[in-house]
Structure 1
Amino acid sequence: MRAPAQIERGAKALTEVGAGLDGTVPHLEEFRQGDVLVDLTQLSVLTDHDWESIATPCGVALISQTCDVVQKTRTYVQVARVVKIDGDRSGLARKGKMPRYAHLPAIDDQTFADLEVVATVAKSAIVGRPMKRGIGNDEQVRDFSEAVARKFGRFAFPDEVVPWINKLENAAYKSAGKQGSAMGRVLDDILELRIEVGNGWDEAPYELTLLIVVKSGIIPVYGDDELPDLPGALQNWLHTGTNGCRTPQQIAERLSATTDPVEKYFLWDSFAEALADSCTPSESTDLSIRNAVLGGALTAEALSADDLSYARYRRTERVDVDHLC
């Protein structure tokens, strides 16, 4: 067994790798998470051939937590390649629909940290370099930190459930960020899609509910003794579509156009149910997948963020479509 003195010397040697010339860790008190190092224009990654350089012409962003960046007991920080995204994809990424990217709003609407290309850098290689703030106010700080945590902490759905959930790609997210479409406008009001399991993830079949978590103030609120009746005209309309039901797109168009609070109340639930119905695999899908969900279908619910309790939040998992596809 190694003597304590040897262990101490070995630990000290390890912590000093990548430190400054005098063996101390540089103090980066002026840096924080989300800062962009504009002149770090390449990162090294290990491939099956050897170490290779990846160009980062827009620089790299610090993704380590600010406390780790400034602490002198931490020799290294993690950085991610900075990229530009144009068009509808930038809108998707800003809304959190593409977990690979974390927005850097203090720079502009098209600049993101690409969390797919990450490297470890010694603080001694950072001190003295030019830097731009990538995030500004407290809300932006929280959003960026959550985006980084979400990328590396997403829930792994069972393999047989993935084909059910990834159909949301076609049903919803391809329209997100498209301001000119009714579906895009409706999806802008949705904060998250979450999956709730009523009987645990131990074994199939799973009792699954798709939760549509909507921004506060969007879904009309009624007391338990004031719940309205479903208008007959709306009921007839909902059940006269293809195969007796309306598509998410059709419901989104009516939801986007109506000003009637009673219609809005029922259309949000109908929209959630239509999205859940769109998740059902085709008859040609493997039987083990079709039997993976209890009752052969997801149930659904639309609710305001104000009505999602912490206990229920803990029983649900966020759906990240680009991870599933």
Structure 2
Amino acid sequence: MEAYFDEEDPPGVVVVSQTCDIVSDPARNPWVVVCPLVKADPARVTEIERGGVPRLALVENAPEGLVAEIARSLTISKDLLASWQRNQGFTDPGKAVEFARSLERCFGRFAFPDDFNRSISPLLKKLKDGYGKEKAEVGRVARSVAELRVRPSAAWDAGNVHVRFLLILKPEDQREAQIAEISSAFEAILSTLSWQGSFQLDEPFLHLGTYDDFLARDYIESVALDINALSFAARYQAAVNPL
């Protein structure tokens, strides 16, 4: 039994199936999903750490210079998997969670309408460019936000859509900016955006708070903005183990 890849065989693979699926009865569920390990130079690894390459992800214990190409998954049999040498991919639970978030990001990103993407591109650029700048206001503000979400007033393809931005803040002791500064900075950026198509700002257009301050409805009726340095970049995340 063999596996065939489009190009040369990769130097290794990482299993991305859930543990419960892996250990389930092969007679009922004989398959697992793996992703190939591919070469990446140091510059590429840095870009991945910053969240700039959603199709690639870091595997903690992979050989140096190898990363997972999660956008190129492969289904294989458990019999084949059992015939390969096993190495533990992660020993740090936090790194394993980061990898899981990379999978979520690659396959779970919401497809915003083109007009909306064009409208908010200046906001995303400012946040991405400023996130790693230690003393810049936009950097301190962005690093104080745990998640940035947007809630539409109607279906995304409706004829008239008002959008409200939800800024979910980190705990107070992890913020680098005060709430007033965060609010002022985002209001200044959002108020200058040129909205295209059917989109425009809601009133009010900004809602700040911690996870405790938002209703469940706010969360499930909104969509996360994929700001790589804000929501997914491992290098800049606080070393908090969520497990």
User: What's the TM-score once normalised by structure 1's chain length?
Assistant: 0.56
SS at match of 2:184: helix
Is structure 2 residue 114 aligned with structure 1 residue 159? Answer: yes
- How far does the alpha carbon of each residue in 1:76-131 deviate from its partner, in whole angstroms, 9 at most, with x for none? 221123344635424313xxx65333443355998643222222222222213222
Q: 1:269 maps to what in 2? A: 183
Check conservation: 2:155, 2:161, Cα contact below 8 A.
yes
Q: 1:219 to 1:128 in 2, by over 3 A?
A: closer
Q: Give 1:191's aligned residue.
A: 146
Displacement of 1:272 in angstroms is 2.0
- Counterpart-to-counterpart distance in 2, 1:132 and 1:278: 51
1:67 maps onto 2:20 in alignment: yes
Alignment-derived partner of residue 307 in structure 1: 213
CA distance in 1, matches of 2:189, 2:9: 40
Closer, same or farther: CA 69–268 of 1 in aligned 2, 3 Å: same
User: Which amino acid is the alignment partner of residue 53 of structure 1?
Assistant: E
Instruction: Verify: 1:89 aligned to 2:25, yes or no.
Output: no
Distance 2:4 2:167 in 1: 39
Aligned length: 222
Q: Deviations over 1:171-208 (max 9, x none)?
A: 112343x3545344543333222111123435032110
> 1:20-56, CA deviations, whole angstroms, 9 ceiling, x for partnerless residues?
xxxxxxxxxxxxxxxxxxxx9x962xxxxxxx31553
Q: Distance in 2 between the 1:137 and 1:92 partners?
A: 19
Letter in 2 for 1:92: R
Kindly name which structure, 1 or 2, has the bigger radius of gyration based on alpha carbons: 1
Pick from 10, 28, 34: which aligns with 1:56?
10
The answer for the alignment partner of 2:167 in structure 1 is 212
Higher relative contact order (CA 8 A, sep 6+): 2
Flag the 1:62–1:268 CA change in 2: closer, same or farther, 3 A.
Answer: same
Query: Which aligned pairs between 1:70-219 and structure 2 lie closer than 5 A?
Result: 70-71=23-24, 72=26, 73-83=28-38, 84=40, 86-87=42-43, 88-93=46-51, 98-106=53-61, 112-136=67-91, 138-176=93-131, 178=132, 180=134, 182=136, 183-218=138-173
* 1:230 alignment partner in structure 2: none
* Cα distance change, pair 143–219 in 1 and its aligned pair in 2 (3 A): closer
Q: Partners of 1:54 and 1:165 in 2: how far apart?
A: 40
1:319 partner letter: L
Between the aligned partners of 1:109 and 1:303, the Cα distance in structure 2 is 40
Alignment match, 2:199: 293
One-letter code aligned to 2:104: A
Are 2:165 and 2:206, in contact at CA under 8 Å, matched by a contact in 1? yes
